[in-house]
Structure 1
């Protein structure tokens, strides 16, 4: 496997990667960074958590001209939270640059007039934001996007799902003909293909397979809702699981409200994240969740996608999502940084086919059932079909392997989660301190220049 040094990166980029303990490139980074560095337009199809953010940020910074005070790269993301994640990653790299680099984030729910006023004085070198706000600033003739030579569309499938492809199309139309374009997406829906053909001439298309779609540190438990009151079942599951932090998914905003209201009535402290929240309420709720004011968070897929909440020990799917990709995104919120996680999925008897389709992705479910208020091993829903195949007794070695796989949270897991979060927070504080120092040095240089 190659190392980041093999990509002939600027020294400060290598320092930035070492600071966040990025030692080896992921498969998507190993394949795409050389292509992007060579100026090729690419379509990268890869799952969440594959490292695609740095796959495009690293070559963008490596070719960035610090002395050129014009827009050089524009990056769109379909949600504020995704844009914030990309912005934080970009700021972390920029904080190691020996020369000041100007990066700006533009998302809805922020002061547009203030952004316009600032743009009249100077342009950012890298623009990161949501399609609607970026297009607003372009239409206001404040953001001079026509100087950019690089355009990144992150989470293109989600951009399409949320109805932002028209805005992205209009942004793309403002760029020069010689444009390097990068599109990243977990899937390539058919409706996205006309857009790709319109702006991308013979792009390199790379589909990066993942060894496992679900982290091996996650236990996937499957619980049937047959004959049970669903809200009562959800309450028993979240109460008895004693999570550090539980993320509870529902398919609709209405169902989120129903579940959150029911759990609150039972005396639990519950936060909810759905499309109905104003930007201010959303930011306040996220701050409260990060401060652990809530132990339970109920959310829809689109509202929660892109939100990075540290320390999620349990994910509960109160219903199967219509899209398998959403299931992957949901479950992938737990079991991070080598910590164990539990994902509990509720299903109805008529949803056998959907469960089977998920199993084809390599997901292994452990059947569970509530018995006397306790979640215990349940019956395999396919036990009748498998009965003939399992008549032969297992060898002692196989019995041991099966028992080993039936893992649960070990004692002290909450302490390990807290330690992991504290380590992450210390790292973020160090990055913030460096950024403050960089900003202060820049301010001092500007003050001296005006004397």
Structure 2
């Protein structure tokens, strides 16, 4: 469905055209009409599916530009995500001939300056982190009691980071006749009491897809084979030509170590984790947007909180300790229909975690680096499968030997050996055919 098929204000259509939005994503096509109808909504869909414009477009469509009061409040669990939503909203607002005031209230910014501005005028749309928004509401400076729409974005992350209680306080300051919109990658059970408390007969939409990660992402698996991971990642970067690559690590200490190593080897690398001060993080993000860096080393907080255009590659230094973060890491690339490559480094001890991810219908393509390029390699299970095949064959041979021994005749040893060899030849042919089919299938998918 094309955006021109929606009945939208001219300036909204102009804004969408300006950023090259022609066809709505599945989430947008299904949920925008529901939001425009005024119903409360719980929208569950994978990361990178276009949720931001799913709620921004209806907010602007229903906005009364001439009414100078807060009409929509949007919370996000991280500064980076709030800023991303703010930038998307500002882009739409700038296309309007009537001034639309959109503000971004996040921690680490000048609170007093924000209060001073609120003394002269209230914004139309409020975007920000729960803590800062609630501080301004609690002090009486931000008047949200006449808002008509409240959006909780990334609700599961809001819950995980302990911000749900603050969002609850914000919601209690809003009017009862309010449209409540909740968007999330997942809807955990612990979120249910909050939803029941505030949402009235909501539409619950789950946008299911055949694959958990985007179809446009090449999801590769590379064995470390006991190699030093710093050197391995450096070798991987030499074979990539990224527009921008994010390298995810499990700890802040590892982020510091890898950042230092890659920087010392001449790469333009940024570093983002929880110990980076807000002002410094903001400066780094501006540098990233100005393409001053080619790589970003980040922890999982950034995996859920950063939405940067043009991430062409993702490298997982290790499988995340919380497997649910794998999808969010990989989802930083392959967004809005663009191609992306995700590379995960693994070792034999990671097999159990990889199998758990495969149960979620996440498919990995095994790769190796050889002759200066990435090449297909054998599946990591080949040794296990071979051992199972041999075990099965050996059991059959034991039975055959026992059967033959019951009636010994001249030449029985040769016959048994011939039977064993024939069985092995047949098994080998079957394995080779299966391997050939797998390789042909992998090649077709590559091209």
**How far is the alpha carbon of 1:351 from its aligned partner?**
2.0
**How far is the alpha carbon of 1:152 from its aligned partner?**
0.4
- The corresponding residue for 2:182 is 183
- State which drifts further: 4-13 or 277-286: 4-13
- The corresponding residue for 1:425 is none
User: For residues 281 and 9 of structure 1, do their structure 2 counterparts lie closer, same or farther at Cα, with a shift above 3 Å needed?
Assistant: same
Q: Deviations over 1:2-32 (max 9, x none)?
A: 5445543333323332333323322222222
For 1:431-450, list aligned pairs within 5 A. Answer: none
- The corresponding residue for 1:440 is none
Q: Deviations over 1:178-225 (max 9, x none)?
A: 221111010111221221122122211111113433334432221223
- Distance (whole Å) between structure 1 residues aligned to residue 229 and residue 436 of structure 2: 40
2:77–2:161 contact (8 Å) kept in structure 1: yes
- The corresponding residue for 1:233 is 232
5+ residue gaps, structure 2, are 390-426
Q: Deviations over 1:156-178 (max 9, x none)?
A: 11111222112111101101122
User: For residues 308 and 33 of structure 1, do their structure 2 counterparts lie closer, same or farther at Cα, with a shift above 3 Å needed?
Assistant: closer
**1:86 counterpart = 2:85:** yes
SS at match of 1:146: coil
- The corresponding residue for 1:64 is 63
**1:405 counterpart = 2:414:** no
- Distance (whole Å) between structure 1 residues aligned to residue 242 and residue 102 of structure 2: 38
1:7–1:33 contact (8 Å) kept in structure 2: no
For 1:102-121, list aligned pairs within 5 A. Answer: 102-121=101-120
User: For residues 219 and 31 of structure 1, do their structure 2 counterparts lie closer, same or farther at Cα, with a shift above 3 Å needed?
Assistant: closer
- The corresponding residue for 1:126 is 125
Q: Deviations over 1:331-371 (max 9, x none)?
A: 23234465543221012212222212322333322212356
- Distance (whole Å) between structure 2 residues aligned to residue 22 and residue 348 of structure 1: 41
- The corresponding residue for 1:349 is 348
- Distance (whole Å) between structure 1 residues aligned to residue 53 and residue 326 of structure 2: 24
Which one has a bigger Cα radius of gyration? 2
- Distance (whole Å) between structure 1 residues aligned to residue 325 and residue 252 of structure 2: 15
1:391 to 401, 410, 431: 431
SS at match of 2:145: helix
User: For residues 19 and 231 of structure 1, do their structure 2 counterparts lie closer, same or farther at Cα, with a shift above 3 Å needed?
Assistant: closer
- State which drifts further: 341-350 or 3-12: 3-12
User: For residues 400 and 95 of structure 1, do their structure 2 counterparts lie closer, same or farther at Cα, with a shift above 3 Å needed?
Assistant: same
SS at match of 1:110: coil
Q: How many pairs does the alignment contain?
A: 406
- Distance (whole Å) between structure 2 residues aligned to residue 341 and residue 216 of structure 1: 10
- The corresponding residue for 1:223 is 222
- Distance (whole Å) between structure 2 residues aligned to residue 238 and residue 316 of structure 1: 10
For 1:309-324, list aligned pairs within 5 A. Answer: 309-324=308-323
- The corresponding residue for 1:436 is none
- Distance (whole Å) between structure 2 residues aligned to residue 222 and residue 338 of structure 1: 22
5+ residue gaps, structure 1, are 408-451
- The corresponding residue for 2:147 is 148
User: For residues 72 and 293 of structure 1, do their structure 2 counterparts lie closer, same or farther at Cα, with a shift above 3 Å needed?
Assistant: closer
- The corresponding residue for 2:41 is 42
1:236–1:373 contact (8 Å) kept in structure 2: no
- Distance (whole Å) between structure 2 residues aligned to residue 311 and residue 32 of structure 1: 25
- Distance (whole Å) between structure 1 residues aligned to residue 340 and residue 5 of structure 2: 35
TM (norm. structure 1) is 0.82
- Distance (whole Å) between structure 2 residues aligned to residue 93 and residue 372 of structure 1: 48
- The corresponding residue for 1:274 is 273
1:247–1:316 contact (8 Å) kept in structure 2: yes
1:238–1:246 contact (8 Å) kept in structure 2: no
**How far is the alpha carbon of 1:385 from its aligned partner?**
5.7
- Distance (whole Å) between structure 2 residues aligned to residue 273 and residue 392 of structure 1: 47
**1:97 counterpart = 2:137:** no
- The corresponding residue for 2:8 is 9
2:44–2:183 contact (8 Å) kept in structure 1: yes
